[in-house]
Amino acid sequence: MQPTDDVETLTDFGFETVELGTKQRLVDQVFDTVAGRYDLMNDLMSGGLHRAWKAAMVGQLALPRGARRYALLDVAGGTGDIAFRALDTGGPGVHATLLDINGAMLEVGRARAVDRGLDDRVEVVQGSAEALPFPDASFDAVTIAFGLRNVPRVQVGLNEMRRVLRPGGRFLCLEFSPTLTAQALAPVYDAFSFHLIPRIGRMVAGDGEPYRYLVESIRRFAAPEDLADMMRAAGLGRVQWTPYTGGVANLHAAWRL
């Protein structure tokens, strides 16, 4: 579990312990490697189920269908998958800000926005989840999908995401879980995660190590009940989570009350 105190100097990078200031550089190296194959990576990590999970996540936003202005911030949104789904689902008043600390990921997202003719409704911003470059209460909703476990200081990131939410705003976090609700799946899931995914990554992408880190980072992440406590500590209310596919992933939901 990531540290939640500013005085901490060590954190997890997969199964390794590293200096807090080192983790972001190592994570950047991982995503520099996988940026062009990010959707494929998520297909490998989830067996393709991430697409259904993301559709359900966007559905929870209950986006307006008309021209009413609605501002969405997608943190660690790199390639734009959540942002584009939201724009396709909502009306013309929905605008998305796509934030990621990794420039290679953002270049993929920017190119996709242009290809889809959505660049006038998508703002691309490079920045850290731990220091969001936006004023207080700027957004109607904040989402983060499969990115929170890569933030060096998760509590700091949650505090920031709550800060930029407007009162009554929605917070949604989709993340892989370190624990399964269907324990019968655990042996198969472990074999798939630790043996097959790095091998497939090596065959498809030419490098299995980024995929090994991503699997390890799941196992070292906060359990859903611990993450819920961190969300409450950030000042979010009505916190709940919904397990998907036997607990392989969870959708964490809350509001800024």
Let me know if residue 2 belongs to a domain: no
- Least confident segment among 85-89, 166-170, 188-192, 221-225: 188-192
4, pLDDT greater than 60? no
Q: Which residue has the higher pLDDT, 196 or 79?
A: 79
Let me know if residue 179 belongs to a domain: yes
Tell me the C-alpha distance between 42 and 29, whole Å: 17
What is this structure's pTM?
Answer: 0.86
Let me know if residue 3 belongs to a domain: no
- Tokens 């995660």 map to which residue? 193
Let me know if residue 5 belongs to a domain: no
Count of CB atoms situated within 10 Å of the CB of 106: 22
Mean pLDDT for 191-219 is 75
Residue 216: alpha-carbon gap to chain centroid: 16
Let me know if residue 42 belongs to a domain: yes
Q: Which of 2-16, 167-181, 210-224 has the highest mean pLDDT?
A: 167-181
- Tokens 């700027």 map to which residue? 138
Q: Residue 207's domain spans which residues?
A: 10-255
- Tokens 């407007």 map to which residue? 166
Number of folded domains that form the chain:
1
Q: Hey, what are 167's tokens?
A: 């009162």
pLDDT category, 18, cuts 50, 70, 90? Answer: low
Question: What is the reported pLDDT for 237?
Answer: 98
Question: What is the reported pLDDT for 28?
Answer: 75
Q: What is the CATH number of the domain that holds 251?
A: 3.40.50.150
Cβ(129)–Cβ(157) below 8 Å: yes
198, pLDDT greater than 50? yes
Let me know if residue 245 belongs to a domain: yes
Let me know if residue 134 belongs to a domain: yes
Let me know if residue 93 belongs to a domain: yes
Query: In whole numbers, what is the pLDDT of the chain averaged over residues?
Result: 87
Question: What is the reported pLDDT for 6?
Answer: 46
